[in-house]
Structure 1
Amino acid sequence: MLVSVEYPELSDRTGRFRFGAPHALTVGDDGARVAFLRSAGPYDPAAALWVLNVATGALTEIAPGPVDSYAGSATLDVLAWAYEGQLHSSTAGRIATAEPVRDPRPDPAGRHIGYVTADGCLRVVTDGDDQLLAGEPGSGVSWGVAGPVAAEFGRDRGWWWAPDGSRILAVRGAGRSSSLHLLDLYGGWVDVHWDRETYPYLVDVHWRGPGNALITVLRRTQQHGLVLSVDPRTGETQVHAELADARWVEPVPGTPRQLPDGRVLVGGELAHDGFDARCLFADGSLITPPGLYVRRVVGVLPRPSGGPELIVEGTDGEPSEQHVFAVRTALAGGGASARRLTTAPGRHTAAVGGDVLVLDLTVIRGAAEVLTLPSLAAPLPYEPRPVLARVTDRRLPSAVLHPSGHVTGTRLPVLLELGPGPGHQQVVTDPAAWQDRQWWADAGFAVVSVDTRGTPGVAPSFEKVVYRRLADVALTDQIDALHALTGKHPDLDLSRVAVRGRGLGGWLAALALTRRPDLFRCGVARDPVTDWTALPPAYAERYLGTRADNSDVYDHHSVTPPATLLISPHGDLSAELAFVTRECA
């Protein structure tokens, strides 16, 4: 029987469960300071900027907020942020500028602060003197702006300081094309040269330490890419590594980067001799064990003996969890190895600078814990206990969440929760991620989540088998998992199944109702995708290939929302619950 429950005031979808918790942590290159954002409490979204002095353990509020984002010099002795278009720094307070400020960043030495304007100009402030570095106002050309394509590759920046602060590497965007240029602070500049016709996508840029800048570029098909070293004097580039995949190249966040010994670290995949791994290579040599699925490279941590270690976030068998690992950069006779630094089940993160490592919120210098950054976040409203399992011959990660106090033997309608859909993990060991789903469960549903093929965290082949057939693979996996779960959870009533998702998850919900109305009674979609040709090409082509070569594939993935799908653009949970309750009665 379905019951009505009050929806909690806080929603994980808006991130409010984390109000009051430290986030956006940065560690200075010398390990002397840790900067972070934190609001004054669980009901206050306005984050303040704080700095921890690692040597003394003292916490100092730098700016009372609201601070949405900040950037710092290499040692974090100078921090900069923008508020309502005004520039602020930790050393000079409010700084007068010629234009409203976006994306301010001090140079590594803290002598200059660069920023981007609303009309796409790049400016630099030095001792109160605000100079135009590059810009073409009114032309539709932007400088230093990431651009819409960058977001599809996780790149949120459009300009980078040189390690010595003498010049800036900046993206120039004109329409759908973009280029890269080295600008010195005195008006001189050189173009960065690579075959932009063949490799139009600039995926990532890394420029730290004494070496050259490293950039990753991809072909339009995303099946081949290059890691290039940029000569800062001439703008000429040299190939350091090639990236290739018959489906699509998936660069590892945090790469490429130069290791302390000069080798270049790149992410890649190992798919031979029985291996199926997402791993790291240094100048072509494998440095991570094949059993470690690398999610992100955090940084390098020096060690008194044995050489520096690479700190990475990854998974070593259980895809619902994320742990932090220390990887040897100097390979000995034993080959690649990784040491897990976190033990408790969960989704662990890290930050590194100098000899300081921050694990979740615990600051560690050497072998000693300095302190744990205090959190002012409220306790979560629910204590969900999803039952996790790997089901079907594909070992699909799945979870079932019952109502609180559920009595075995009571049949329950099923809500298949898709979230953002394929490409986003739903089955995760994180209580905050289950708060919305527990609310639905307590309304009288058995809430089911399945990470179908196409979801990261398991293996590259698991993730990429959906190429040009995402609709068929994802829908088949959801259906097969539902049937497999009834063997473990006989209270699941598959004669009353609803489906719910947003974005690409909303598309899959519409697809389920259209193609399998015998199983799915109704659904809810927030901002569903209905036409893949309306998506950014870089995103759509990653899964379906180019439309010119695969028009039939695009037609196969299009869907018209049926009458049994409720479109919920404003996220009205009361209306969603009423609709699903009525249809599943």
Structure 2
Amino acid sequence: MDFPRLAERTGHFRHGSPHAVTVGADGRRVVFLRSTGPEDPIASLWVLNVATAAESLVAPGPLPSYATDRDARVAAFAREGRLFRADLTRGTVTEVPTDEPVEDPRPDPLGVTIAYVSRAGGSPSLRVVGPEGDRLLAGESGNAWREHGGTIGWGVADETARRFGRDRGWWWAPDGSQILAARTAASTSLHLLDLDFGWVDVHWDRETYPHVVNVRWADGGGPLITVLRRAQQHGLVLAVDSRTGETQVHAELADARWVEPVAGTPRHLPDGRVLVGGELAHDGFDARCLFADGSLLTPPALYVRRVVGTIPRPGSPAPDLVVEGTEGDPATQAVFRVRTSLGGGGAEARKVTEEPGWHHAVTGGDVLIVDDVVWRGEARVAALGNLAAPLPYQPAPVLERVTDRHLPAAVLYPTGFVGGTKLPVLVTMGEGPGRQQVVHDPAAWQERQWWADAGFAVVSIDGRGTPGVAPSYEKVVHRRLVDVALSDQADALKALLGKHPDLDLGTVAVRGNGLGGWLAAMAVLRRPEVFHRGVARDPIVDWHDEPVPFAERYLGDHRDSADVYAHHSLHDPDPTDTLLLIGAEVPGLPSRPTATLVEELAFLQPKS
């Protein structure tokens, strides 16, 4: 089977599957994007009526994204800079005239006004269009934009924000009367903009806490923001007064390595408490947890990955939280219901998903969607139609925990392999330590099965630095990433041989992309006795060239860590022909601007 061609043609087998799912706050409608089948890359806008379980096409594609009002009665989307408004109750679409090309349009929570970002003047500006027409809400003059080197703008997330997982630059007030907008320049500031053109600045110590990690304004009360110091070892959760812009510290976040906020937090609970993600690291605990006004809500055994939302709890005025997380096996992601009312029994979480897998959830009103299945209470309402092609491979990786550090690892053999024959080994670094590879998700193993069927025993190891196990496991790599990561990879390979005697550790290749490409290159250069050939796609060459938040998370402040940065650099290696760089150049190492998987295979296959 020609995996590269199949993957290119089918978009990694996801065309035809529902995605970008939204549930209205009243629980009546489910909105999502989906193409017409596996050969169609163009996503269209669909609505499921929860009461009738009937799907209907609202807007043919292409639609890369959309946004809805609170109850999913109205959707807004842009096509080639033009703005469209969809009535999701009637299934009609109308074009909305605007004065400038449209990006990132979103209706207000009541569905009356639509705000959007425009780049018509070069500098991103924020505009609103409604009953009074199209008007500028916040923007910069062309001179100001040029004076700041083209980096100033309103309503967009800069590279630093995206590195922290914040891809939005503006947020509606729950009543639609204001917008909280980010202004990006030398540092990010926040401003509360009234639709009648009044505004106030949001006040906090921006010099000490320059990183705006996340913002939420959707659960009643004022906005909640999380800000971090440059060193990322201390942060504040701030409650913002929407009238004055003044802030009050609600919680402090601290870690000796770096603070890692939980996705989906902070947020207001219906009773007014503020939910904050944090870590429990005392009395033998090493957990990623949730707290409500300082009270622990989640059991320490639950590693919380993301807070999805809330859903009514039968017989209780306090809702449950819906959480994606891991309990025990880091290769799985399950969906849990977490009790928000603390009773005598302490923290309580009930698993919703039974089968091991990599599960996702969406909530709205009393509706819960787990993967593609729509539930209302205990009743299964419908399943969102999935028109994607079946996965071409049915991989069966053997999952292990190895060494005294219990490193998650997996071995994937060629289809139909019968033991007794030594196989060359291919170690995949994926996208690096920050991303898990050893997961219960067949889609994640498709490309690796292609490599296995080309004649390798494919090995994946989630060494320290990878999320999903425990906070300390993820953060122990601080300032010594290359040494810890390579030690874990080498030790795990040796340990796997005891359970998998067909691994030929005399012929080990390695490949990765981005951070994983850098680690693959380092493996060949620093541990050639273990890793004999390697391909590094778009690897980091010099950490000084990386975005500051990303580099300093792993290596510390470059201003006082010159030796650490030099130790992690790809510069000045001993010349070798056993390592191929793709998309990067380093003197002494073979490189190509691009390469196909087949060309990688030709380089990595054992040489006779």
Category of TM-score, reference length = shorter chain:
over 0.9
* Deviation at residue 58 of structure 1 after TM alignment: 1.8
**Number of the residue aligned with 2:190:** 180
What is the alpha-carbon distance in structure 1 between the residues aligned to residue 9 and residue 430 of structure 2? 10
Q: Unmatched 5+ residue regions in structure 1?
A: none
Write out per-residue CA displacement over residues 510-542 of structure 1, whole angstroms, 9 at most, x where no aligned residue: 111111112211111110111111100010001
Residue 575 of structure 1 pairs with residue 599 of structure 2: yes
- Opposite residue 122 of structure 1, the aligned amino acid is L
Q: TM-score scaled by structure 1?
A: 0.97
8 Å CA contact 1:413, 1:584 repeated in 2: no
**Number of the residue aligned with 2:586:** none
8 Å CA contact 1:162, 1:168 repeated in 2: yes
**Number of the residue aligned with 1:213:** 223
* Deviation at residue 423 of structure 1 after TM alignment: 0.8
8 Å CA contact 1:182, 1:232 repeated in 2: yes
**Number of the residue aligned with 1:514:** 525
| Structure 2 residue matching 1:16: 3-state secondary structure | coil
Residue 64 of structure 1 pairs with residue 60 of structure 2: yes
Aligned-pair identity in percent equals: 66
Residue 428 of structure 1 pairs with residue 439 of structure 2: yes
8 Å CA contact 2:10, 2:38 repeated in 1: no
Map residues 38-77 of structure 1 onto 2, 5 A cutoff.
38-77=34-73
Q: Which one of 437, 440, 444 corresponds to residue 451 of structure 2?
A: 440
What is the alpha-carbon distance in structure 1 between the residues aligned to residue 411 and residue 498 of structure 2? 12
| Structure 2 residue matching 1:151: 3-state secondary structure | helix
8 Å CA contact 1:521, 1:584 repeated in 2: no
Write out per-residue CA displacement over residues 246-291 of structure 1, whole angstroms, 9 at most, x where no aligned residue: 0000000000000011000000000000000000000000000000
8 Å CA contact 1:146, 1:158 repeated in 2: yes
What is the alpha-carbon distance in structure 2 between the residues aligned to residue 506 and residue 546 of structure 1? 23
Residue 451 of structure 1 pairs with residue 462 of structure 2: yes
Q: Unmatched 5+ residue regions in structure 2?
A: 88-92, 146-151, 584-593
- Opposite residue 23 of structure 2, the aligned amino acid is V
**Number of the residue aligned with 2:268:** 258
* Deviation at residue 430 of structure 1 after TM alignment: 0.4
Q: Which one of 67, 85, 89 corresponds to residue 85 of structure 2?
A: 89
| Structure 2 residue matching 1:475: 3-state secondary structure | helix
Closer, same or farther: CA 421–584 of 1 in aligned 2, 3 Å: farther
* Deviation at residue 11 of structure 1 after TM alignment: 2.3
Closer, same or farther: CA 571–311 of 1 in aligned 2, 3 Å: farther
Residue 566 of structure 1 pairs with residue 580 of structure 2: yes
* Deviation at residue 50 of structure 1 after TM alignment: 0.6
Question: Structure 1 residues 318-327 or 124-133, which shifts more?
Answer: 124-133
What is the alpha-carbon distance in structure 2 between the residues aligned to residue 213 and residue 10 of structure 1? 46
Closer, same or farther: CA 15–333 of 1 in aligned 2, 3 Å: farther
CA-based RMSD of the aligned residues comes to 1.3
**Number of the residue aligned with 1:330:** 341
* Deviation at residue 15 of structure 1 after TM alignment: 4.3
What is the alpha-carbon distance in structure 2 between the residues aligned to residue 71 and residue 523 of structure 1? 43
Number of aligned residue pairs: give it: 579
8 Å CA contact 1:390, 1:398 repeated in 2: yes
* Deviation at residue 584 of structure 1 after TM alignment: 4.3
- Opposite residue 55 of structure 2, the aligned amino acid is L
What is the alpha-carbon distance in structure 2 between the residues aligned to residue 563 and residue 362 of structure 1? 51
What is the alpha-carbon distance in structure 2 between the residues aligned to residue 392 and residue 84 of structure 1? 54
8 Å CA contact 1:497, 1:584 repeated in 2: no
Residue 289 of structure 1 pairs with residue 299 of structure 2: yes
| Structure 2 residue matching 1:43: 3-state secondary structure | coil
What is the alpha-carbon distance in structure 2 between the residues aligned to residue 7 and residue 63 of structure 1? 32
What is the alpha-carbon distance in structure 2 between the residues aligned to residue 80 and residue 147 of structure 1? 23
Q: Which one of 223, 228, 235 corresponds to residue 225 of structure 1?
A: 235
Residue 318 of structure 1 pairs with residue 344 of structure 2: no
Residue 461 of structure 1 pairs with residue 472 of structure 2: yes
Flag the structure with more relative contact order, 1 or 2, with Cα contacts below 8 A and sequence separation at least 6: 1
Residue 240 of structure 1 pairs with residue 233 of structure 2: no
Question: Structure 1 residues 431-440 or 205-214, which shifts more?
Answer: 205-214
* Deviation at residue 303 of structure 1 after TM alignment: 2.0
| Structure 2 residue matching 1:197: 3-state secondary structure | coil
What is the alpha-carbon distance in structure 2 between the residues aligned to residue 311 and residue 440 of structure 1? 37
* Deviation at residue 14 of structure 1 after TM alignment: 8.2
**Number of the residue aligned with 2:591:** none
Closer, same or farther: CA 206–196 of 1 in aligned 2, 3 Å: same
- Opposite residue 406 of structure 2, the aligned amino acid is R
**Number of the residue aligned with 1:116:** 117
* Deviation at residue 16 of structure 1 after TM alignment: 2.7
What is the alpha-carbon distance in structure 2 between the residues aligned to residue 573 and residue 464 of structure 1? 32
What is the alpha-carbon distance in structure 1 between the residues aligned to residue 319 and residue 6 of structure 2? 43
What is the alpha-carbon distance in structure 1 between the residues aligned to residue 541 and residue 219 of structure 2? 46
- Opposite residue 83 of structure 1, the aligned amino acid is R
